[in-house]
Amino acid sequence: MVCDNTIIRLTATIHRRQTSGEALLGELGSVLAGEKSAFAARCHERSVSMAHVLVMFVIDKAGPIPMTRVAELIGSGLPTATGLVNRMVERGLVRREHDTRDRRVVLVSLTEEGAAEVRELHEARQRRMADAIAQLSGPEQDSLLAGIRSLRSALERLNQGDETR
């Protein structure tokens, strides 16, 4: 009888952990999907496609970079990246310049308008998150912060494992 109770408790614990993990994945997936939709709507209001936003974010983070690197970082072929950048040049969001060290290399960088667009999109996302967090109680904020830090740490460990493969 004692053995049966132990097995039942152990099974319940395992089930709870799986259920919690599944619930976390479901909730996180739902939150991320909702925020992606809200972000896409903000981009649409500004007449900027998600593909253009991705290119601008990549350039913002990496600085002036060669077209081949833009293609690599957005996960596309060079012709696709070139087409995106062509349209962005026409809109005044990015510019092309020849590398002073190697004139064969074309570098892509943000214009002032492109940099302002990136900044405004980041600020809008920050304001939305701040507004949501402000609706949480102090203990809820503390709990969320601890959970996010744990998740970030776990993802960093996974990323380190990816680098050793």
Would you list the domain boundaries of the chain?
A: 1-45, 47-137
Class of domain 47-137: mainly alpha
Tens digit of pLDDT for each residue in 86-113? 999 999 999 999 888 888 888 999 999 9
Question: Could you report the per-residue pLDDT of 27-55, keeping only the tens digit for each?
Answer: 888 889 999 999 889 888 888 999 999 99
110-141 tens-digit pLDDT: 999 999 999 999 999 999 999 999 999 999 99
**Inter-CA distances, 16 with 8, 74, 147, 154, Å:** 12, 39, 18, 20
At 58, list the tokens: 């990549």
Amino acid at 53: V
* DSSP per-residue codes, 5-17: HHHHHHHHHHHHH
Signed CA dihedral, 115, 49, 132, 24: sign only: negative
Q: How far apart are CA 163 and CA 77, in angstroms?
A: 24
